[in-house]
Amino acid sequence: MNAIDNEWNDLMADWQAEEPAPAPLSEEGRQRIRRRVRRYGHRMILVTLFEIIGCAAMLVWVWKGTLDEPRAIGTVGLAGTAVLIAVALGFSLWNRRGIWAPATESTLTFVELSLERQRRKLEALRFCPWLLAGELAFLLPWSVWALLSKPAETWRWFFAFGWMIGMSTALLVFWAWYKKRTLREMAEWEELRRALEGE
């Protein structure tokens, strides 16, 4: 019985012992981290350029569409779209300030930059539902006004409101998936930072 107690105590001691310290990160591992962080910085630049081009194209498309609308409806539609685009693009650029490239060349700095990028993604995800609510608050009454201003076939009503419901649903599904992915990536970077700080 005493031997069993001793064995049980040894098992408990092993279970409660601290986990062994992780092996130091190899130079190849450090280079992979740096390449990954730099590639993400390049992708951020490309995404920002596509956002600017996309916003400009959207404004031109809305402006061309306003030519078919009565003057007041077209002007309000263009102005509302411009305000929403300015808010979205302004937040996007503001949220990316200071995270384009690492300040120094240490691996720990690269990891900390990646963590800050994940935090900024979470800020953008918190902003998204508010932007969506603002867009719907503008689009719903404006669409009703535009559709009532001239004879419109029933399918136009279904298309306008179906499109808003479908896009909002798709955006919220993507939002939930992206938030989960961002939190998972953030946990991985935090674990890597702890390993580097422990070296």
Range of 109's domain?
29-197
Question: How far is residue 92's CA from residue 43's CA, in Å, rounded to a whole number?
Answer: 14
pLDDT of residue 3: 56
Confidence of residue 23 (pLDDT cuts 50, 70, 90): low
Greater model confidence, 189 or 14: 189
Torsion angle in degrees (nearest 10) through CA of 113, 115, 116, 119: 160
pLDDT one-digit tens code per residue, 90-149: 999 999 999 998 888 888 889 999 999 999 999 999 999 999 999 999 999 999 998 888
SS3 55: helix
Q: For residue 52, give the nearest of 100, 76, 86 by alpha carbon.
A: 86
Confidence of residue 6 (pLDDT cuts 50, 70, 90): low
Question: How far is residue 52's CA from residue 93's CA, in Å, rounded to a whole number?
Answer: 10
Radius of gyration of the chain (CA): 26
Question: How far is residue 96's CA from residue 122's CA, in Å, rounded to a whole number?
Answer: 12
Greater model confidence, 182 or 152: 182
* Residue 2 is assigned to a structural domain of this protein: no
Domain count of the chain? 1
* Residue 5 is assigned to a structural domain of this protein: no
* Residue 22 is assigned to a structural domain of this protein: no
Q: CA distances (Å), 116 to each of 74, 120, 195, in order? A: 41, 6, 17
Q: What average pLDDT score do residues 1-14 get?
A: 56
